[in-house]
Chain A
Amino acid sequence: MTDFDFPFFFNYPPYFTLQPVKETREKQVELWTELILRYCRQQRAYILSTSTADDNPLFYNRKIERRLNQDARLLFLGELVSRGNARWLDKDRRQCLVLWKKLQEWADTVYSLVRELGMQESVMTVDELSSGDEVAGTELEGAPHELLVEALKLLEAQGKAQLFSGEGDLGVKFF
């Protein structure tokens, strides 16, 4: 992981406690959602957990011994979900897919890469899109399955791809 330049508030203890006063909390939500997006974009992180068992350095500052509890994580990530910058991966909201690029942008990235590689009309597995030799060094390398599936569903709805289940893996055909 590359060094990340954390903002000042990350070292100020009360920002790790949900603020009881509405105006202050709104400001807090603003700062955290901004930080989460920036952090994930720079670290190329995709999935965050709301469980406090997870010691993600984004939610736990060892230096000042403060961490975000589950309520705080749910609130900040929930705010991102409502803005279209994230998506819950399960209905218990344990895992959250952070979309530091909007889903449509991911879909466009996938589609234009496929065209560049001349792989329309051919069938690929979803995993090939993130770990195949063709995508090495591109933006899709290392993208999580969940993200690709969401992006592909969007392309399917736009008539640019079709998803089907293959042997143990999802397959996709682009048009």
Chain B
Amino acid sequence: MTVEPFTRHTGLVAPLDRANVDTDAIIPKQFLKSIERTGFGENLFDEWRYLDEGAPGRDNSARPENPDFVLNQPRYRGATILLTRENFGCGSSREHAPWALADYGFRTIIAPSFADIFANNAAKNGILTVTLDAETVDRLFQQVADRPGYRLTVDLEDQTVTTPDGEVIPFEVDSHKRHMLLNGLDEIGLTLERESDISAFETGHRKRWPWVFEAQG
């Protein structure tokens, strides 16, 4: 599957001031029963966002919102950049988590660290995870709180985050992930181009460890 390329993005920043935000919190289990890739955004952070219990197929517009939850505050409506704390996306491997974030409208998540599986899944869905040191993230939290309408520009080509003051903050990103995101590439298609390599490996592997290919119960 090809994804929308990510080159440069400017957007409103929402601060989610919690460490270890897990994928169960990002998209609770009852929504994982869907066999589609779309439609998860309305249930992003469902248990924090609404005061009642959500269920698949329910009309979410009629549900009572939790006014204290950050994404429900008018100043953060329409945010496309999520600023959060350490170890974002820990827990389950459910890709429904980035599907929900992307469907809601997030294109970038900034945090001091991310769980491995989540970061991989995010990239496959055109979401850029930007890792900045904890002090910088702390400073950005302060700036977001101080200034309504706070927007950042994230440039993947240059590997920089630019603040409204013009401060340019560089970030590191895995070169493979950067290449895939910048070009919105179909990774499966690229791997299939290596068919002869895969076949050659398989022949050798089968000769060496035949039992791998002979599972019969």
**A and B from one complex:** no
Q: Which residues of A contact B (CB under 8 A)?
A: none
Q: Which residues of B contact A (CB under 8 A)?
A: none
